[in-house]
Structure 1
Amino acid sequence: MITFFEDGIVTLQKVTLIGAANIDIQGFPFDKLIYRDSNPGRVRVCPGGVSRNIAENLSRMGVDTELVSAVGKGANGRFILDSCRQSGIGCSNVLVVPDMESSTYMAIMDREGDMALALSDMSISGRITVEYLKSIREVIEASAVIEVDPCLSAEVVAYVLEEYCDIPVFIDPVSIGKAKKIKNLLGKIDTLKLNRLEAEYLSDSRISTNDDLFRVSSYFLNAGVHNLFITLGKDGVYYTNREQSGTIVPPETEIINATGAGDAFMAGVIYGTLAGYGMVRTAEFATAVAIAALSSQDTVNSSTTIAMIERIIKERF
């Protein structure tokens, strides 16, 4: 049941997000990057991680969220948990691991705010096991939507997709390396978000033309994916299901930090599903959430609200 209000929705349905919660360390150069040299700039530290980022965006839009993740017992872990609580994210099912460091993502950005190079230490994600998920089965079963992050082991990803096939599962593989974990499980995925390279890898096809895009999207639908979103950079996003398809090209947007845009987009897709939006409206809404993220120095725009997203849609689409 979803109750609508003028400034957004309050939902009695919960979204459970299973995956990474990180410390993000981001470096922004003052000038053009010079590789193999020390570049003057500024460094920001903020909470991150795909599932945590999606959860925060959803929480700021009024959605009930529960994060299933793992953090270390030290200062970074406390920082992540404190930020989750302040953002309204449920985190009673986040494991606190005393003998490991929290996940860390370290990125060097270019002058345009896009990632030039990054390194991630996600070792602690291995503590999220099938056995642990079985121990919180009642929490997961109470979900209207499940998001699972392929940073987790292939065994865990497969378990979620196979065990909770009666609940819509949403996945954004984030990279080709992680996409390998879902290549043989596409038929279990309700909603899949990919970039061009990930779509090409999973379908074993190149995307150079609109005909290629249609052919590749048909591959995923025939494999059993219900809803598909393929982000195409400056060319926008292609959306499709059995009923409708199309492309939304967003207006030119100043990029301050692109790190969390993909996660924001996925949050918009989940929100659109909960709100009962059609594919066009969902793609438009998700793109607007991504635009909000691009305009923030942090991975998640702390100013995100439904009113803000609707204003972006009205002004830019």
Structure 2
Amino acid sequence: MTMATTAMTKEQQILALLAKNPFLQQNEIAEQLGITRSSVANYIMNLSNKGKIRGKGYILAPHKRIVTIGGTNMDIAGTALTELRLQDSNLGKIKCSAGGVARNIAQNIAMLGQESHLISVVGDDPYGATLLETTRLAGVKIEQCYKLANQTTSTYLSLHNHSGEMVVAINDMDILQCLTPELLASRLDFIQHSDVLVLDCNLSETTLAWLFTHCGHLPIFVDPVSTFKAMKIKPYLHKIHTLKPNRMEAEILSGITIEQPEDLVKVANWFHSQGLQRLVMSLGADGVFYSEKGGFADTMAAFKTEIVNVTGAGDAMMAGLACCYLENRSFSASVRYAQACSAMALASVFTNNPNLSDDSVKQLLEN
């Protein structure tokens, strides 16, 4: 367990104790957690700086929660050690890890210190049990997830070249078709009382339409996932607060080809004319173009970082954007913070960087 992860766990444990008894003394907390009183004092100071604790008697700040709905996968990734040779056997490394766009976003949100809830489906099989336990241990609340009998947990198989770039992928995500409005109806009240709702386009068009209809009063953040899946949300752009497409997804949705910088503004204007509030478009090595309806548009350069693994960078960025919105940060500051989250994902061999935390992101921004 890393130092950042340990700190996050202790802070969560302290918040849980104070929720039961706001008048606990620091020495009592230290005794219950098996740490020193000075350590408790440091954790209390950090929680106060983050706005989690305020006032006398350790009054906890009102709970705000982010609910993420979408895909949960077992990711199996193969990476070639040398230049990839197609139609041949390649030396490389193969690893299995918890994945899925929505699940990854939810985990990153939890690691950044916000209350994160995931609503997804897994099968009643070993992969499903592993995914739920891994996600829970990462700090995500999984009580709203569904475990379905006689279903196979979603699996995502990807092949990467020696530079870490994905060459091709195959996904077996049929189980997500079971995440229907009829199934979600039992969670509707819970969803409607969230502070931010994050959706991925792995959800069916019918389910997305149902969520936009019943949760349109919420700030809804959407990850298009792919050019093909992005088209599901075209009729509902006016219901979306923040959309995070890449260049190709933005082109396919708007019908505008991006060939020069002026085209970025054209694309943004088209999205805003459809009712979209905020656009955050990933431009890869060229950074991020971001635009707000009735506001400003600008390009922000990418962080200089060694790219170890591109999988999960967009999920970390979305998590950063959602967390910053919850904390009422400015749009430009939110984008820069989200870029730092993405840079940390790029620099890790894991899809979700285990060192990600609000403190580690702020330290990267300061550096």
TM over 0.5: yes
- 1:218 has 2:269 as partner: yes
- 1:114 has 2:165 as partner: yes
Question: Which residue of 66, 90, 93 corresponds with 2:141?
Answer: 90
Q: When the two structures are superposed, what TM-score results if normalisation uses the length of structure 2?
A: 0.83
Deviation at 1:9, TM superposition (A): 5.5
Could you say which residue in structure 2 is the equivalent of 1:65? 116
Does the residue aligned with 2:298 lie in a helix, a strand or coil? Answer: strand
Question: Which residue of 304, 309, 312 corresponds with 2:364?
Answer: 312
- 1:268 has 2:356 as partner: no
The count of residues paired between Structure 1 and Structure 2 equals: 313
Determine the C-alpha separation between the residues in 2 that align with 1:271 and 1:217: 23
Determine the C-alpha separation between the residues in 1 that align with 2:201 and 2:343: 24
Deviation at 1:8, TM superposition (A): 4.2
Deviation at 1:7, TM superposition (A): 6.6
* 8 Å Cα contact 2:165/2:309 also seen in 1: yes
| Runs of 5+ unmatched residues, structure 2 | 1-45, 53-61
Summarize the alignment of residues 5-154 of structure 1 with structure 2, pairs less than 5 Å apart: 5=47, 8=50, 10=52, 12-154=63-205
Q: Deviation digits for residues 26-46 of structure 1, max 9, x if unmatched?
A: 111111110111111111111
Determine the C-alpha separation between the residues in 1 that align with 2:231 and 2:267: 17
Question: Which residue of 166, 171, 174 corresponds with 2:222?
Answer: 171
Deviation at 1:244, TM superposition (A): 2.1
Does the residue aligned with 2:131 lie in a helix, a strand or coil? Answer: helix
Q: When the two structures are superposed, what TM-score results if normalisation uses the length of structure 1?
A: 0.96
Does the residue aligned with 2:235 lie in a helix, a strand or coil? Answer: coil
* 8 Å Cα contact 2:308/2:349 also seen in 1: yes
Deviation at 1:251, TM superposition (A): 3.1
* 8 Å Cα contact 1:60/1:87 also seen in 2: yes
Determine the C-alpha separation between the residues in 2 that align with 1:25 and 1:147: 24
* 8 Å Cα contact 1:72/1:98 also seen in 2: yes
* 8 Å Cα contact 1:269/1:285 also seen in 2: yes
Does the residue aligned with 2:88 lie in a helix, a strand or coil? Answer: coil
Does the residue aligned with 1:137 lie in a helix, a strand or coil? Answer: helix
Could you say which residue in structure 2 is the equivalent of 1:281? 333
Could you say which residue in structure 1 is the equivalent of 2:21? none
The higher relative CO (CA closer than 8 Å, separation ≥ 6) is in 1
* 8 Å Cα contact 1:8/1:61 also seen in 2: no
Q: Which has the higher helix share?
A: 2
Residue type at the aligned position of 2:223 = D
Deviation at 1:264, TM superposition (A): 0.5
| Runs of 5+ unmatched residues, structure 1 | none
Determine the C-alpha separation between the residues in 2 that align with 1:34 and 1:217: 39
* 8 Å Cα contact 1:19/1:150 also seen in 2: yes
Determine the C-alpha separation between the residues in 2 that align with 1:145 and 1:264: 16
Deviation at 1:21, TM superposition (A): 0.7
Deviation at 1:6, TM superposition (A): 6.6
Does the residue aligned with 1:183 lie in a helix, a strand or coil? Answer: helix
Residue type at the aligned position of 2:104 = N
Q: Deviation digits for residues 146-171 of structure 1, max 9, x if unmatched?
A: 11111111000011112111101110
Quick one: percent identity of the two aligned structures?
34
* 8 Å Cα contact 2:313/2:343 also seen in 1: yes
Deviation at 1:255, TM superposition (A): 1.0
Provide the alpha-carbon RMSD of the alignment: 1.5
Determine the C-alpha separation between the residues in 2 that align with 1:209 and 1:29: 34
Determine the C-alpha separation between the residues in 1 that align with 2:159 and 2:126: 23
Q: Cα distance 1:64–1:213, how it changes in 2: closer, same or farther (>3 A)?
A: same
- 1:298 has 2:350 as partner: yes
Deviation at 1:214, TM superposition (A): 0.4
Does the residue aligned with 1:265 lie in a helix, a strand or coil? Answer: helix
Q: Deviation digits for residues 129-152 of structure 1, max 9, x if unmatched?
A: 101111111210120011111111
* 8 Å Cα contact 1:16/1:145 also seen in 2: yes
Does the residue aligned with 2:299 lie in a helix, a strand or coil? Answer: strand
Determine the C-alpha separation between the residues in 2 that align with 1:24 and 1:8: 33
Determine the C-alpha separation between the residues in 1 that align with 2:302 and 2:51: 24
Determine the C-alpha separation between the residues in 2 that align with 1:189 and 1:238: 18
Question: Which residue of 189, 192, 203 corresponds with 2:240?
Answer: 189
* 8 Å Cα contact 2:303/2:339 also seen in 1: no
Determine the C-alpha separation between the residues in 1 that align with 2:189 and 2:234: 28
Deviation at 1:57, TM superposition (A): 0.3
Q: Deviation digits for residues 85-110 of structure 1, max 9, x if unmatched?
A: 10111111111112111111111111
Determine the C-alpha separation between the residues in 2 that align with 1:9 and 1:88: 19
- 1:231 has 2:282 as partner: yes
Determine the C-alpha separation between the residues in 1 that align with 2:305 and 2:226: 24
- 1:198 has 2:249 as partner: yes
Residue type at the aligned position of 2:96 = V
